[in-house]
Amino acid sequence: MQKTDYSLLCRQMAALLSGVENEISNLANASALLWQALPDINWAGFYLMRNGQLELGPFQGKPACTVIAMGKGVCGTAAEKREALWVPNVHAFPGHIACDCASNAEVVIPLHRNGEIYGVMDIDSPTPGGFSQEDFQGLQAVAAEVERGLFPY
Ligand code: SME
């Protein structure tokens, strides 16, 4: 599988989001860029904290579950622990929520605003072990650019 140039992707993300104040526009474009740039994924998008739970935001891929409770699934666990999660085999993750049965590996990275959890960036791969350590680190750098693009202060 071809390697992703995360340094380039970070610069592209920063440029794409810069100067845009509408969060939905930025999240929609961010998910589209992830979808185009990552070679082996079947879902890329965002869940946003609303009403104490994660609610589906802009994404690319198949329709997905609209609400995830804090602490549930990979997304809810990452949000509750405020910790980026790298799951090489989703079937071995207790409570994993299968939205697209093609998903086998997943990376979820919490996003923050003013120190509060804002939501998560969620990327799924159809390939077991589809994300390497390098992908996990690269995606965290990309998520940091998304955060900066959304809240540039
Ligand atoms: N698998 C996620 C649910 C969201 S979908 O992957 C789009 C989870 O376990 O939280």
Residue 122 Cβ inside 6 Å of ligand 1? The answer reads yes
Q: What is the pLDDT of residues 71-123, one digit of tens each?
A: 999 999 999 999 999 999 999 999 999 988 999 999 999 999 999 999 999 99
How far apart CA 36 and CA 55 sit, in angstroms, is 23
Q: Which of 100, 138, 118 is nearest to 55 (CA)?
A: 118
How far apart CA 72 and CA 126 sit, in angstroms, is 21
Q: How far is the CA of 91 from the centre of ligand 1 (A)?
A: 12
Residue 142 Cβ inside 6 Å of ligand 1? The answer reads no
Share of the chain above pLDDT 70, in %: 99
Q: What is the pLDDT of residue 1?
A: 66
Tell me what the mean pLDDT of segment 27-44 comes to.
97
Nearest CA to ligand 1 atom 6: 99
Q: What is the pLDDT of residue 2?
A: 73
Residues 59, 31 contacting (CB under 8 angstroms): yes
Phi, psi (degrees; rounded to nearest 5) at 20: -105, 125
Residue 149 Cβ inside 6 Å of ligand 1? The answer reads no
Per-residue confidence band for 39, with pLDDT thresholds at 50, 70 and 90: very high
Considering the chain, what is the average pLDDT of its residues? 96
Per-residue confidence band for 153, with pLDDT thresholds at 50, 70 and 90: confident
Residue 145 Cβ inside 6 Å of ligand 1? The answer reads no
pTM above 0.85, yes or no: yes
Following DSSP, what letter does each residue of the chain receive, concatenated? -PPP-HHHHHHHHHHHHTT---HHHHHHHHHHHHHHH-TT-SEEEEEEEETTEEEEEEEEES---SEEETTSHHHHHHHHHT--EEES-GGGSTT---SSTT--EEEEEEEEETTEEEEEEEEEESSTT-S-HHHHHHHHHHHHHHHHHH---
- Which atom of ligand 1 approaches the CA of 65 most closely? 4
Residue 102 Cβ inside 6 Å of ligand 1? The answer reads no
Residue 75 Cβ inside 6 Å of ligand 1? The answer reads yes
Structure token digits, residue 9: 């992707």
Q: What is the pLDDT of residue 62?
A: 96
